[in-house]
Structure 1
Amino acid sequence: MVRFENVGLRYGTGSETLSDLSFTLQPGGFYMLTGASGAGKTSLLKLLYLAMRPSRGLIRLFGEDVVTMKRDRLPGFRRRIGVVFQDFRLVPHLSVFDNIALPLRVAGVAEEDFETAVTEMLAWVGLADRASARPATLSGGEQQRVAIARAVIGRPEMLVADEPTGNVDPEMAARLMHLFKALNKLGTTIVIATHDAHLLSSLPGIQLMRLDRGRIADPVGMLKYPPGKTTSKPAERRP
């Protein structure tokens, strides 16, 4: 699903934000990306959802080299990836319903074919009574739930989420993680960036990768108790 080889990322002429990243993420995996604030988690996610190209190195997504991919192919390629942004990026003039439905409309799905799915998703994230509301009238936690619903509604091949439970209470956080797990069981590869130790401790059996100052501090491995420790055996890597 994802392959990085000696990837580096530099903003402008400064020092590298990410350095020498090499790892493989398998199809259908569930991965948690951890690290202190400023470790490079958001920058790595931007490379995964094709918002940026690396300064050096190789990145392959879905078996294709995305570093040299022609720009006119990128929009269609990005539609295979669901993204939950830390700043939500909801469309202000659209209702909650229409924000969630947006990826399906862009993909050309007919209204009658997705109305039920969007309504069910609204109920799942606890916003059934806010379908006609505009983003500006929502709380931060409600906007976060809309952003998550929009990202998962199309059952993307890969979901990338930046601190997706940062603005919701623990009960809703657990519910959203259940939604991510259900999507993962359907075959979607999940990559979530978080520094929430409680969230990590509630998810035994996932894959954990830790960043430290732009470098991989621990190999991709299975999260086990106590939180923060990984097994000595890394995830299978392809040549």
Structure 2
Amino acid sequence: MSGSEGEVVQFDNVGLRYGTDREVLSNVSFTLYPGRFYFLTGASGAGKTSLLKLLYLAQRPSRGAIRLFGTDVITLPRERLPAYRRRMGVVFQDFRLVDHLSAFDNIALPLRVSGVREADLQGPVSDMLDWVGLANRADARPATLSGGEQQRVAIARAVIGRPDMLVADEPTGNVDPEMALKLIRLFEALNRLGTTVVVATHDVHLLRKVPDSLIMRLDKGALSDPTGALRYPPRRVGAGE
């Protein structure tokens, strides 16, 4: 697959196996373009989470090539990987909140890591808490939050820094349908600002909620292309849209 300037992600014949087991991903090739909204779908066990791990650099492939933001990340020294991870927001299935931090401080964490002054945190974090319906839970620790509330904190933390790419693994799995739609609208708003969004979901109803989205479907580790996601050209993004 040939490359072009401005691609966010490029996979070329990527395979992944754990230990000596058979490959969980086989010959996966695709390109993700700036400012597009992608759904990754497939049955349980199809390999969605494994593919996302490769995307956010938590796993190296067994074979093939991966370029992220124009850089070959397979040969990149490990000490340089954090700089690329900071350009991504990730929503994990198991949330990965920091237990001893409040909801406010969990959401503020990416901003603090990037050097935002404390005086400039209050407004953005409070706005995000309000958006995900947790304005009255700002001081709550994760252990006192329900699964759905923890999910919303994790999502707020992932998007608050307006990352170049958002990767979300079943982000609506622990919330009711009304909140699920609200969260998808949040992802859409971020997407309109130029962020490339990748949402893994088994919920086929969500696929129809974002009219301009592209769908990548995994089946037993192989990728299919029902909406042209693997060959769709970049669209213009920015203030003019």
SS in 2 for 1:16: coil
1:172 to 166, 179, 182: 179
Corresponding residue for 2:77? 70
SS in 1 for 2:75: coil
Structure 2-normalised TM-score? 0.92
Q: How does 1:85-124 map to 2 (within 5 A)?
A: 85-124=92-131
Q: Please tell me whether the aligned partners of residues 220 and 234 of structure 1 are also in contact (alpha carbons under 8 angstroms).
A: no
SS in 1 for 2:64: strand
CA distance in 2 between partners of 1:75 and 1:59 (Å): 16
CA distance in 1 between partners of 2:110 and 2:60 (Å): 23
Q: How does 1:124-135 map to 2 (within 5 A)?
A: 124-135=131-142
CA distance in 2 between partners of 1:209 and 1:77 (Å): 23
CA distance in 2 between partners of 1:204 and 1:213 (Å): 27
SS in 2 for 1:144: helix
CA distance in 1 between partners of 2:18 and 2:82 (Å): 23
CA distance in 2 between partners of 1:178 and 1:217 (Å): 26
2:19 to 12, 33, 44: 12
Percentage of matched positions with identical amino acids: 72
Corresponding residue for 1:136? 143
Shift of 1:212: 0.4
Corresponding residue for 2:160? 153
CA distance in 1 between partners of 2:101 and 2:215 (Å): 36
RMSD: 1.3
Higher strand share: 1
Q: Where does structure 1 lack aligned partners over 5 or more consecutive residues?
A: 223-232
Shift of 1:113: 1.5
Shift of 1:110: 0.8
Structure 1-normalised TM-score? 0.92
Number of residue pairs the alignment of both structures matches? 227
Q: Where does structure 2 lack aligned partners over 5 or more consecutive residues?
A: 1-7, 235-241
Shift of 1:234: 4.2
Corresponding residue for 1:225? none
Give 4+ residue runs of structure 1 displaced > 4 Å after superposition.
Answer: none
CA distance in 2 between partners of 1:204 and 1:104 (Å): 31
SS in 2 for 1:92: coil
Q: Residues 119-160 of structure 1: CA distance to partner in whole angstroms, max 9, x if unpaired?
A: 000000000000000000000000000000000000000000
